[in-house]
Structure 1
Amino acid sequence: MAINGDKVNPTSAAAVFISTATLRHLVTHASLIRHLHSTLSTDIQSPARHSHDTSPSSSLILMPSWSLSPSLPYVGVKLVTYHPNNSAVNLPGVHASYALFSSLTGQTLATMDATDLTLYRTSCISALASKFLSRENSKTLVMVGAGSLAPHLIRAHLAVRPGLKTVIIWNRTVRKAQCLVEKLQKESEFEGVIFESNGSLEEAVGLGDIVSCATNSEAPLVKGGELKEGAHLDMVGSFKPSMMECDDEAIRKGRVFIDNEAALVESGELVGAFERGVITRDNVVGDLVELIKGEKSGRISQEETTVFKSVGSAAVDLLTAQLVYETFMKNQVHG
C-alpha cells in the first residue's frame, strides 16, 4: 500500500502509539476527504457493531473491520464509550481508542486515541457526500449543534465547498454557539468567512444552503417545511432509533442518501419514517459508495432538496486509521 506514492511495510516496525496531538499533525480534513474518495469502494468486511449499555445513559460500542484487499492489509477495531451527559463537565460525550493490526501476520501495528479520529472521519464523510449532493454555489452553512464535532464539520464542508461565505451556528444553549463563533472568528484559516450565531433555529434553517446537524436530540429539530429550495440536509447525530434530528417532512421531500446500510435500522429519522409510512426503504436513493462509483446520481437539479444520513462505519474507521498510520510511518522514514 502507499500514501502519496510512498510505500509502507505494515510488518516492518514495532507497534506505535499515535496520540491525538500527533494525529492532528498527520491529517487534514481535505487530505482525509481525498483518501476516502479514492478508497471507500475497497473490499472491506465490517460485521455489525456491538453495542452494550453500561448504565441507563451510557454505552460501550465495539466496531471491528478488516480488508481482503492487498492494498489494505489491516484488521482494526474501534472501542467507543458514549456518555451524553459529559457536556455538564465540559468533556466530549464520545471517547474512543483504535487498535490496528496486520492482516498478514496478526501483529499489533498501532494504537491511537480515536476520539479525534472519529471526529475527522465523521465530518469528512459528510463533506464527501456534500460534494455530490449540495449545490456547488452554496454560500451559507448552518451548523446545528456546537459540540466537539461542529468545528470539524465546518472545516470539512468548507474544504469541499470553498465558496461558503457565511456559517451560522445554532445550539440549544445559545452561549455555547456564541463561544464557538468567537473561537472560529480568531482562526486565520477562515479568512473571508463570516461566522454568526442565531438563537432562532427556524430562521437559521431557512437561510442554509447546507444544514449540518450534530446533536443527540430525541425530538425533531430541523423541519422540512423550513428548508429553503435546493438545500442539502446533512445529519450525523443520531445513531439509534430513539434519536432524530429532523421531522418526517424533511425526509419526505428530500432525495435521501445514506452512508451505509446500518442507517436503515439505526437512524431514528429513517426508522420512524418507515414505521409511519412516510417513505419505504425503496425510496432511499443510494449510499455514498454508489455515489462515488457513479452508480447513483447525486444532485440532479438546483431546486431539489437532498438529505444525507450518516451513522458511521467501521470501514471508514479502518480507512482513516490507514491514512493516519501510513502517514506517521512515512514521516518516521523521512524524518
Structure 2
Amino acid sequence: MSEASTLLWIDAQRVHRLLDYRRLVQALREAHLQPMPISEDVCMDEPGAGRGNNFLLLPAWSGQHMMGVKLLSVFPDNVRARVPLPTVQGIYAAFDGRTGTPLFIADGAALTLRKTAADSALGLELLAPINVSTLLMIGAGDMAGPLVEAFIQIRPSLTRVLLWNRTMRRAEALAARLQASGIDCQVVTDLDQALPLADVVCSATMSQQPLIKGALLKAGAHVSLVGSWQEDMREADDATIARAQIYVDSREVSRHSGDLLQPVVSGLISWADVRADLFELCQGYEIPTLEAGQVTLFKNAGGAHLDLFAAQFLATEVGVEWAS
C-alpha cells in the first residue's frame, strides 16, 4: 500500500449487505476445513465502576493468509440512555498475513452480528432436523433479529417465530420489525409455556440465571445458546445440559462459557461430554444417529478466529487482494 492510498472503510450497511447469511455460512463451513488460527480474547472490565461495561480486544492470525483484530465496546445500559445507543460498537482491522499490509477497516458491530448469527446458523444446519417449523427466540437485543433471519434463511421450514424477552416493549418492537420483513413473529409472555412448542430454541441474553428448562423442551428440539459468554452467565439449566448431545463452535473458547463451565465444575458433565466442535463437524466427524426425541445443543462461544473467517469472506466480496 502506497503512502498516497486510502485505507478502505466498510461501513455497517455495506457489511450487512455483503455478508449474506447463506453464503457466509458456507464460507464459515469451508474455513473450518483449515487449522484453527491462533487467537486471543482479551476482555477488560470498566475500572472501578461495576456497571458491567466491557472493552474487548480480539486478535487472530491465520498463518500467512490474514491477520486481524476486533475492538469492541459492550455497554449494556446504552439501550436505556435518553438517546439510545447500540450495546455493541467497534471496528475490525484486517491485515495481509504475508506482508503485514493493512487491508481494510470495517464496522465491528455489524461484522459481529453477522458472524455470530452465521455461526449459530451453521450449527443449526449441521445438527437440527430438516423439518423444523417453530423457532423460539429468547431475548430481543441487538443479536436477536440477525439470529432469526439467519435461521430462517438456513432452515426455510421455520415458518413460525415465538419471541420472549424480559421487557415486553423491546420484544414488541422487534416483533414489529420482523413482521414488516415478512416473518410470522408472535410475542409470548410465558416462557415455560412456549418452550414445549419450539423445534428450535435460541437464546441470546446476558442472563446469569438459567432461562431454558430442559424438562420442558420438546422431544428432538435443537437448542442454540449464544449468550453466557462469561463464566458467571447461564441460559440453560442442568436438566438441559444433562439431556442434550452437546456440540460447540470451538472446544477451546467454549471453556469460558458459564453454560458449560458451571456444569463441569459441579460434576454434572465433563469436557469429554462435548461431542465435537465446528472444526471436527466440518472435517468429517460423523454425527451419531439420534435416538428418538434426542435433544441437540450447540454452544456459540464466539472467538476471534470466527471474526477472522468473516473478514476473509468480506475481503473477497469487496475485491481486496490478500494472501489467500
How far apart are 1:275 and its partner, in Å?
Answer: 1.3
Distance in 1 (alpha carbons) for counterparts of 2:13 and 2:288: 36
Amino acid at match of 1:84: P
Unaligned runs of 5+ in 2: none
Matched, 1:230 2:224: no
- 3-state SS of the aligned residue for 1:51? strand
Distance in 2 (alpha carbons) for counterparts of 1:322 and 1:45: 12
Matched, 1:152 2:146: yes
Bigger drift between 42-51 and 231-240 goes to 42-51
How far apart are 1:299 and its partner, in Å?
Answer: 6.1
Distance in 2 (alpha carbons) for counterparts of 1:133 and 1:282: 19
User: Which of these residues, 60, 66, 72, is aligned with residue 65 of structure 1?
Assistant: 60
Distance in 2 (alpha carbons) for counterparts of 1:32 and 1:301: 31
Q: What residue number does 1:99 align with?
A: 93
Unaligned runs of 5+ in 1: 1-8, 331-335
How far apart are 1:174 and its partner, in Å?
Answer: 1.3
Matches within 5 A, 1:143-222: 143-187=137-181, 190=182, 193-222=183-212
Aligned residues: 313
Bigger drift between 293-302 and 250-259 goes to 293-302
User: Which of these residues, 21, 27, 52, is aligned with residue 29 of structure 1?
Assistant: 21
Amino acid at match of 2:42: H
Amino acid at match of 2:38: S
How far apart are 1:194 and its partner, in Å?
Answer: 2.1
User: Which of these residues, 231, 245, 250, is aligned with residue 240 of structure 2?
Assistant: 250
- Kept in 1: contact 2:249–2:298 (CA 8 A): yes
Q: What residue number does 2:44 align with?
A: 52
- 3-state SS of the aligned residue for 1:168? strand
Distance in 1 (alpha carbons) for counterparts of 2:222 and 2:292: 10
Bigger drift between 74-83 and 115-124 goes to 74-83
TM-score (norm 2): 0.92
TM-score (norm 1): 0.89
- Kept in 2: contact 1:285–1:296 (CA 8 A): no
- Kept in 2: contact 1:46–1:315 (CA 8 A): yes
Q: What residue number does 1:115 align with?
A: 109
How far apart are 1:201 and its partner, in Å?
Answer: 0.6
How far apart are 1:47 and its partner, in Å?
Answer: 3.0
Distance in 2 (alpha carbons) for counterparts of 1:142 and 1:34: 24
Distance in 2 (alpha carbons) for counterparts of 1:299 and 1:142: 25
Q: What residue number does 2:70 align with?
A: 78
Distance in 2 (alpha carbons) for counterparts of 1:307 and 1:276: 19
How far apart are 1:302 and its partner, in Å?
Answer: 4.8
Distance in 1 (alpha carbons) for counterparts of 2:304 and 2:40: 9
Distance in 2 (alpha carbons) for counterparts of 1:318 and 1:325: 10
Output one character per residue of 1:204-259: Cα deviation in whole Å (capped at 9) or x when no partner: 11111000000000110001111110001100111111001011110000001111
Distance in 2 (alpha carbons) for counterparts of 1:111 and 1:298: 42
- Kept in 2: contact 1:97–1:114 (CA 8 A): yes
- Kept in 2: contact 1:44–1:68 (CA 8 A): no
Matched, 1:140 2:134: yes
- Aligned-residue identity in percent: 33
Distance in 1 (alpha carbons) for counterparts of 2:205 and 2:108: 19
Q: What residue number does 2:255 align with?
A: 265
Amino acid at match of 1:35: A
How far apart are 1:179 and its partner, in Å?
Answer: 1.5
- Kept in 2: contact 1:170–1:198 (CA 8 A): yes
- 3-state SS of the aligned residue for 1:92? coil
Amino acid at match of 1:65: A
Bigger drift between 103-112 and 88-97 goes to 88-97
Q: What residue number does 1:41 align with?
A: 33
Bigger drift between 14-23 and 169-178 goes to 14-23
- Kept in 1: contact 2:138–2:201 (CA 8 A): yes
How far apart are 1:271 and its partner, in Å?
Answer: 0.9
- Kept in 1: contact 2:134–2:162 (CA 8 A): yes
Q: What residue number does 1:323 align with?
A: 313
- Kept in 1: contact 2:178–2:184 (CA 8 A): no
Distance in 2 (alpha carbons) for counterparts of 1:325 and 1:47: 19
User: Which of these residues, 12, 33, 36, is aligned with residue 20 of structure 1?
Assistant: 12
Bigger drift between 51-60 and 197-206 goes to 51-60
Amino acid at match of 2:158: L
Output one character per residue of 1:127-155: Cα deviation in whole Å (capped at 9) or x when no partner: 10011111111010000001111110001
How far apart are 1:41 and its partner, in Å?
Answer: 2.4
